[in-house]
Amino acid sequence: MKNKLFINVFRVLTILGVWFLICDCLYAQEMPPRPVSISLERNLSFGAFSQSMGGGSVIVYSSGSRTSTGNILLVNLGYMYYPALFKLEGNPGTVVHFMAGPDAILYGNHGGTMTMKLGESEPLSPFILSSSPNGAILVFIGGTLVVGNPLANPPGNYSGSFIVMFLQE
C-alpha cells in the first residue's frame, strides 16, 4: 500500500514538473499603474511684437518657431519666445493623451485683454512614456495669441493662465 501511494505521488509530481517545464504561460501580476507626475518646466512666451490697426495673431509652434498673421510685426528686443515645456514621469510604456483646455484670457498691465489658444503638443498626442529612468518625457506645447488693434490691446506685458490636461490610459 505504501509502495502504491509512493508511485502515485511520484507520478503526479512528475506530471506537474513536466507541465511546468512545457507551459510558459505563467505570468506574475502586472504592476499597478502609477499616476503620471507632471511638472511645468517653462511657461509659454510669445516674445515681442508690434501691431497696427488691423491686428492679427502671433503663433509659437511646439517646435519652437514663431510666425505672425495679419498686421503683426515680430521684433527681437531681447524678449524670448518659446513653447511651454512640461516634464511627465510615470511607468514606462504608459500611454498619455494631451488635451488643451479652453481659450485663456491674458490681461495687460496697461489695460486690454488678448485671447490665447493652445496648439498641438510635441510629441503629438497620444504619446508613450519612454523607458528612460522614471519613464520621463518632455512635452512642448505651442499656442496662438489673438491680437487686436492698439486701442483694444495697448502695448505692454500681458499675462494669464491656461489649462492643460494629460489623460493617462
Domain count, the chain: 1
What does the pLDDT look like over 10-38, one tens digit per residue? 565 555 455 455 555 555 555 556 788 89
Domain that holds residue 136: 31-168
* 99-156: pLDDT as tens digits: 999 999 999 999 899 999 999 999 999 998 877 666 688 999 999 999 998 888 998 9
pLDDT of residue 19: 47
- pLDDT, average across residues 48-77: 93
pLDDT of residue 6: 54
With CA atoms as reference, report the closest residue to 165 among 137, 129, 126, 136.
Answer: 126
Nearest-angstrom CA–CA distance, 137 and 93: 11
d(CA 20, CA 22): 6
Whole-model pTM? 0.76
CA distance linking residue 106 with residue 48, whole number of Å: 15
Q: Is residue 16 part of a domain?
A: no
In a domain, 19, yes or no: no
- Which residue in 98, 103, 106 sits closest to 118, CA to CA? 103
Residue 102 lies in a domain: yes
For residue 12, being part of any structural domain is answered with no
Nearest to 79 by CA among 105, 39, 45: 45
In a domain, 121, yes or no: yes
